[in-house]
């Protein structure tokens, strides 16, 4: 294992940025390209936020130190690390050839009550509940927070814990989950709807449960398979990850024995950059990605007429027509391998610039169209049918405007719209964007975007 304790100056700068908070009000100023294709160069994809957050919950399954690398230095990661420290996990940072790395040790005295303020700010904090319950026999937590993108009930987690033998109590906004004497036991759990986080949470809980657990109708996202593969390397017995049925045979605590989990590339970030390139790039190369993870996006872009070159870990957009010559298409979001809900807002921005009419059907979250008024203020022709469907007509010229980033993914869509638009745009509440995209303005500057971050006095 080659992990050095040295931290580079760029990592120190990024780490400093992680310590910001919603109270630190910052905004972006973007001078748009006015529909011109001017962006060029190379932009690298960071480690996947949704994969990193889940592996950071895994130290409770280990009897030794867990090493992870290629961790994105973003707000959500810092929040989860603060929770881990409050629970008694030792956390130290390092640098490696694969970017920012962490050593996580849960061999000391552990707490099983998630800190209320921190957990309420981070939806992903719920992934900790499964490993903590399996390790300590009890977990207490408030209803998790996160982006305001619609109702996100946790019944699927609570029902799963009950089937594993735990008792569930709720009082004064707190959930108190207690394993039976002797620990959790295996069970067959069928999800009514596939859930990535529930799949990972219950899979990790089952790793330390007694006997065999079968999870049916589970999510298929590649981050789940990456997590299961690494846990298996460390002694877990998980079969079927990446399919609709996962079987887990319970084991004692796992041992990393110096193995390092390398966070897979962020497919949502790769897809967002690809959409930006399709709209505004003269020649944009996206590196450090896994093209097979964004095939649903590549397919619809090629259907529209975008020329996408797929390489080994790379994507390239080069010598494309003006967006007005592209054809519109309908989109229906779906669990992986369907079109991802996290790319719905960026693809709507794309559809405002191409010719034709499109119906966009958001099937996952009913609050995920909250950004639409921001695009309409810029000149987009978007008709809201109901909380799940919009009709987008294009092409329409976008004009610079003052915008408010409503959530993580929609914030980047507003950023793409501002880059495409004519004139200057101001995007407030950039904290939501920082939650998921590391040093986004620095990377965009590198490909020709005129963007500045301003900290309010």
Residues that are catalytic: 147
Q: Kindly state the tokens that stand for 213.
A: 């657990």
User: 140: which DSSP letter?
Assistant: E
Lookup: tokens for 116? 């209320």
How many angstroms separate the Cα of 119 from the Cα of each of 84, 111, 150, 295? 11, 14, 18, 34
Distance CA 79, CA 75 (A): 6
Q: Could you tell me which of 346, 267, 337 has the C-alpha nearest to residue 301? A: 346
Task: Give CA torsion, residues 42, 288, 350, 194, to 10 deg.
Answer: -170
Q: Shortest CA distance to 73 belongs to which of 437, 430, 411?
A: 437
Q: Are strands 281-287 and 308-310 parallel, antiparallel or unpaired?
A: unpaired
Which two three-digit tokens encode residue 98? 């694969």
Task: Decide: helix, strand or coil at residue 74.
Answer: coil
**Strand order, beta sheet including 174-178:** 138-142, 174-178, 167-171
For residue 329, give the nearest of 362, 355, 308, 366 by alpha carbon: 355
Structure tokens at 192: 């009514």
- Assess contact for 178 and 140: CB atoms under 8 A: no
Q: Are 349 and 375 in contact (CB under 8 A)?
A: yes
Kindly report whether the peptide bond that precedes residue 36 is cis, defined as omega within 30 degrees of 0: no
> Residue 155: left (phi > 0), alpha (psi -120 to 50), or beta?
alpha
- Taking the CA atoms of 397, 401, 406 and 408 in sequence, report the sign of the dihedral they define: positive
- List the one residue out of 25, 30, 26 whose CA is nearest residue 416: 30
| Tokens linked to 234 | 């460390």
Name the residue among 232, 154, 166, 142 with its Cα closest to residue 197. 154
Q: Could you give the CA distance from residue 200 to residue 162 in angstroms, rounded to a whole number?
A: 16
Per-residue exposure over 188-210, b if at least 16 CB sit within 10 Å of its own CB, e if not: ebebeebbbbbbbbbbbbbbbbb
């Amino acid at each position: 294992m080659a992990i050095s304790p040295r931290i580079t100056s760029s990592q120190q700068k990024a780490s400093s940025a992680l310590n910001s908070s919603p109270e630190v009000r910052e905004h972006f100023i973007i001078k748009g390209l006015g529909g011109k294709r001017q962006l060029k160069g190379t932009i690298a994809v960071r480690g996947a936020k949704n994969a990193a957050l889940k592996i950071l919950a895994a130290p409770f399954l280990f009897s030794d130190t867990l090493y992870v690398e290629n961790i994105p230095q973003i707000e959500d990661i810092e929040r989860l690390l603060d929770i881990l420290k409050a629970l008694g996990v030792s956390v130290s940072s390092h640098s490696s050839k694969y970017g920012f790395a962490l050593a996580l040790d849960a061999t000391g005295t552990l707490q099983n009550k998630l800190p209320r303020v921190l957990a309420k700010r981070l939806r992903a904090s719920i992934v900790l509940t499964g490993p903590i319950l399996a390790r300590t026999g009890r977990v207490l937590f408030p209803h998790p927070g996160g982006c305001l993108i619609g109702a996100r009930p946790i019944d699927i987690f609570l029902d799963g814990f009950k089937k594993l033998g735990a008792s569930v109590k709720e009082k004064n906004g707190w959930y108190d989950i207690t394993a039976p004497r002797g620990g959790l036991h295996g069970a067959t759990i069928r999800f009514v709807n596939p859930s990535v986080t529930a799949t990972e949470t219950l899979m990790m809980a089952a790793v330390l449960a007694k006997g065999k657990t079968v999870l049916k109708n589970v999510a298929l996202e590649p981050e789940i398979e990456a997590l299961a593969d690494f846990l298996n390397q460390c002694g877990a017995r998980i079969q079927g990850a990446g399919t609709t049925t996962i079987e887990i045979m319970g084991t004692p605590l796992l041992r990393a024995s110096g193995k390092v989990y390398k966070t897979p590339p962020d497919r949502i970030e790769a897809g967002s950059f690809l959409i930006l390139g399709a709209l505004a790039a003269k020649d944009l190369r996206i590196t450090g990605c896994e093209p097979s993870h964004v095939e649903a996006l590549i397919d619809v872009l090629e259907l529209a007429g975008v020329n996408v070159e797929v390489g080994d870990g790379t994507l390239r957009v080069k010598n494309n027509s003006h967006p007005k010559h592209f054809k519109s298409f309908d989109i229906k979001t779906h669990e992986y391998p369907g079109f991802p809900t996290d790319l719905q807002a960026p693809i709507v921005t794309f559809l405002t610039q191409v010719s034709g009419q499109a119906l966009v059907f958001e099937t996952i979250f009913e609050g995920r169209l909250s950004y639409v008024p921001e695009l309409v203020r810029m000149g987009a022709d978007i008709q809201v049918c109901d909380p799940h469907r919009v009709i987008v007509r294009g092409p329409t010229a976008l004009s610079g405007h003052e915008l408010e980033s409503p959530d993580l993914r929609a914030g980047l869509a507003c950023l793409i719209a501002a880059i495409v638009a004519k004139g200057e745009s101001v995007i407030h509440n950039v904290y939501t964007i920082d939650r998921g995209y590391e040093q986004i303005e620095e990377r965009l500057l590198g490909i020709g975007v005129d963007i500045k971050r301003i900290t309010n006095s």
